[in-house]
Amino acid sequence: MSWPGVTQRRVATNGISLNIAEAGKGPLVLLLHGFPESWYSWRHQFAPLAAAGYHVVAPDMRGYGKSDKPAEIAAYCQSEVVKDIIELIPALGYDKAIVIGHDWGAPTAWACALNHPDVVRAVGGLSVPFMPRSPVQPMPMLREMFKGQFFYQLYFQEPGVAEAEFERDIRMCLKKFLVLGGGETDLASLPVKGEHDDMFSNMPEPKSLPKWLTEADLDFFAGEFSRSGLRGPLNYYRNHDLYWELTKDAPTEIHQPAMYVAGTNDGVVMMAAAGIEMMPHFVKDLRLNRMIPGIGHWTQQEAPEAVNEAILEFLKQID
């Protein structure tokens, strides 16, 4: 599958090589994907942003697609992922960049802006708001919050368990996972799970795909994970405590121009409601703060036109 005007290459950064998809010329806009996705989750953003005069670059994040996949769990700590992105900027020939992320890419983008204000001139997050470092250790807090319940981030902790379940039927698991996170799914109607359940066994197969996800899209994602596996992507979740320990002296405020966009039916938005409400206290120049009605977690895939309009509106404000 090819996308007109979008090319791919590998670029060395932070001791590894990342595969990037890129289009256009002009100021650098980096688009960072989340779990379980790839550069392809930004497929609808390349043409509009390139046409507006930007060099749009979406990497396969470490562990994904055609990018390198270090073996160690600690290699997927956000401290390393942030270095990948910060060092990618000069590797692409730039002094500064605008960094926008979705899902796991959002905390990466926020952390890039927080810790490297001299390099990141503006920042955006989709779905996941900026939240300063928690005063309490993350994993004990999550275990207490979800005691006796299934919570996907706790299920992902034991190396090899979630990998084995996903990799038994990657296409079907991705289909369930992606449709589950979409705005069409009534989360209240899903089966209740206990803390010892797996992720997909009692999750019904979707009868059809939503309009935003085609069979060809699903084939692309399944093909990428069939080659690359799930170990690297799942390792991101296994570094919550390590990253918390490493960031005890991190700043708490972002001062660059910022944007936040999310869907009203996003489960992350429901979990992070307090963080979204508090975000303007910590993101001091939040120029665009927009909720898109009716869409779920896959913001830029479910509502590409609305997301492109928001990004371009934001970019016009800072140029």
Q: What is the phi/psi pair of residue 239, to 5°?
A: -120, 15
Q: What is the phi/psi pair of residue 13, to 5°?
A: -160, 135
pTM: 0.97
Mark residue 5 as left, alpha or beta (left: phi above 0; alpha: psi -120 to 50; beta: remaining).
Answer: left
Per-residue model confidence as pLDDT tens digits over 54-109: 999 999 999 999 999 999 999 999 999 999 999 999 999 999 999 999 999 999 99
CA angle at 268 for the pair 133 and 54, rounded to the nearest 5°: 80
Average pLDDT on 184-198 reads 84
Per-residue model confidence as pLDDT tens digits over 275-308: 999 999 999 999 999 999 999 999 999 999 999 9
Q: What is the pLDDT of residue 202?
A: 87
Residue 158: band (very low, low, confident or very high) from pLDDT cuts 50, 70, 90: very high
Q: What is the pLDDT of residue 319?
A: 74
* Parallel/antiparallel/unpaired status of strands 16-23 and 7-13: antiparallel
Q: What is the pLDDT of residue 258?
A: 98
Average pLDDT on 212-241 reads 97
Q: What is the pLDDT of residue 186?
A: 82
Burial label for 222, CB within 10 Å (0-12, 13-18, 19+), is middle
Residue 1: band (very low, low, confident or very high) from pLDDT cuts 50, 70, 90: low
- The most distant pair of C-alpha atoms in the chain lies apart, rounded to whole Å, by 52
Residue 34 pLDDT > 70? yes
Establish whether 103 is a catalytic residue: yes
Alpha carbons 58 and 41: distance in angstroms, whole number: 9
Q: What is the pLDDT of residue 217?
A: 97
Alpha carbons 252 and 162: distance in angstroms, whole number: 33
Mean residue pLDDT across the chain? 96
β-pair partners for 55: 28
Average pLDDT on 3-30 reads 96
Marked catalytic residue, from 68, 103, 217, 266 = 103
Q: What is the pLDDT of residue 188?
A: 75
Residue 232 pLDDT > 80? yes
E strand spans, 60-175: 97-102, 120-126
Burial 55-78, CB ≥16 within 10 A → b, else e = bbbbbbbbbbbbbbbeeebebbbb
Average pLDDT on 209-216 reads 97
Alpha carbons 235 and 215: distance in angstroms, whole number: 28
Contacts 24+ apart (CB under 8 A), 158-166: 159/73, 159/231, 159/234, 159/235, 159/238, 161/198, 162/199, 162/230, 162/234, 163/229, 163/230, 163/231, 163/234, 165/198, 165/199, 165/200, 166/36, 166/225, 166/230
Residue 2: band (very low, low, confident or very high) from pLDDT cuts 50, 70, 90: low
Marked catalytic residue, from 55, 102, 116, 297 = 297
Residue 189: band (very low, low, confident or very high) from pLDDT cuts 50, 70, 90: confident
Average pLDDT on 112-137 reads 97
Q: What is the pLDDT of residue 69?
A: 98
Decide: 257 and 122 in contact? Cβ < 8 Å. yes
